[in-house]
Amino acid sequence: MKRSLTIMMLAVGASPLFACATTTPPELIEARADYRRAASGPAAEHARGQLETAKRALDRAEKEFKDDGNDKDTRDFAYIAQRLSETAEAQAKLQLAQNERAETQRQLELARAEKDRATQEALGQANSETAAALALAGEEAKKAESEKMARIEAERKEHEALSALEKIGNVKEESRGYVLNITGAVLFAPGKATLLKSAETQLVTLADAVRSMPSEQKIIIEGHTDSTGSDSMNQRLSEARAAAVKSFLVRHGIERSRLESVGMGEADPVAENTTAEGRATNRRVEIVIEKAT
């Protein structure tokens, strides 16, 4: 009888632990929701490849959860799936914007052709004084049209550059400009400010994208750290890392006058510093690109 009671008590005591181990992690819940949102939106048509990649990552997270419960691999794969779903949505939005610009360009060309035809008819019927006035008006219209087309071309190049930057890290549009977030681990060894050899590919892509943008667009390089260590040490480290990225871009053809490097230290976290994941997220370099005017 005592043995039976002991077994029952052990079973009852173990059940909360078992329930805790199988609790669905928030990362997986968010990854499922983000994928469903992406799959039901424009990404289903305009970013199929990225969406399929996100689905594979989500399936892997589901398998890890099924096999091992709420462990680190489950959360890691869920986090990756979530980021990939967000990337698919961003790519779809970019594609839709490009399609809209293409249609705008087509309409502009049709309008310009009609305008040219009408101008020619008017010139053929007008007297010399009227013809001279129309010619002057035509020159002004061409100038305005040229300026408009130049703006459209600048926007096209900007969006192509931003699309290239999406391959390096997460790009967000903020009031201060376009912000590229590069995880610090991609660029630097822990506690160091010397660029890793493996970082050159990403930074070369960044340099190529910046060169394709109008030269008047300024670039601000911000170094960020987590809260580990003293304030002064983190400040120096963030300044040195931002300066290292700036020097690399200068060596790869970006005018020094366009670049500014700033060390933010631990002052601007984007995640909690109480977890390893949060600290890893805070260790980053942000590239702020002014919007074209």
pLDDT in tens, 140-165: 888 788 778 767 876 777 777 778 78
**Is 101 contained in some domain?**
no
Coil vs helix vs strand at 56: helix
Rounded to the nearest integer, the mean pLDDT of the chain is 85
> 74 with 24: CB under 8 angstroms?
no
Question: Is 111 a member of any domain?
Answer: no
Confidence band, pLDDT 50/70/90 cuts, at residue 10: very low
Average pLDDT for residues 47-51, to the nearest whole number?
A: 90
Q: Does residue 118 form part of some domain? A: no
Could you tell me the residue range of the domain that residue 48 belongs to?
2-93
Element (H, E) at 17: helix 2-21
Judge whether residue 12 has pLDDT over 50: no
The pLDDT confidence band at residue 15, using thresholds 50, 70 and 90, is: very low
Q: Are residues 63 and 171 in the same domain?
A: no
Domain count, the chain: 2
Residue 255 lies in a domain: yes
Residues 242-275 pLDDT 10s: 999 999 999 999 999 999 999 999 999 999 999 9
Residue that terminates a domain, selected from 93, 117, 149: 93
pLDDT at position 139, please?
80
Region 58-70: mean pLDDT is 91
Same domain flag for 85 and 192: no
Same structural domain for residues 89 and 173?
no
Pick the last residue of a domain from 93, 113, 148: 93
Q: In this structure, what CATH number is given to the domain that contains residue 187?
A: 3.30.1330.60
Give 225's pLDDT tier (boundaries 50, 70, 90).
Answer: very high
Specify the DSSP element, H or E, that contains 180: strand 177-183
Arithmetic mean of pLDDT, 192-202: 91
Please give the single-letter amino acid code of residue 173.
E
Q: What's the pLDDT band for 133 if we cut at 50, 70, 90?
A: low
Whether residue 76 is contained in a domain is answered as yes
User: Residue 3 pLDDT > 50, yes or no?
Assistant: no
pLDDT at 11: 38
User: How many residues belong to the chain?
Assistant: 293
Is 25 part of a structural domain of the chain?
A: yes
Contact 283, 185 (CB under 8 A): yes
Task: Give how far the C-alpha of residue 261 lies from the chain's centroid of Cα atoms, to the nearest Å.
Answer: 20
The verdict on pTM exceeding 0.85 is: no
Determine, yes or no, domain membership for 145: no
Per DSSP bridges, beta strands 177-183 and 259-263 are unpaired
In a domain, 31, yes or no: yes
Note whether 188 and 278 are same-domain residues: yes
Of 61, 93, 125, the domain-final residue = 93
Same structural domain for residues 89 and 172? no
Average pLDDT over residues 165-176: 86
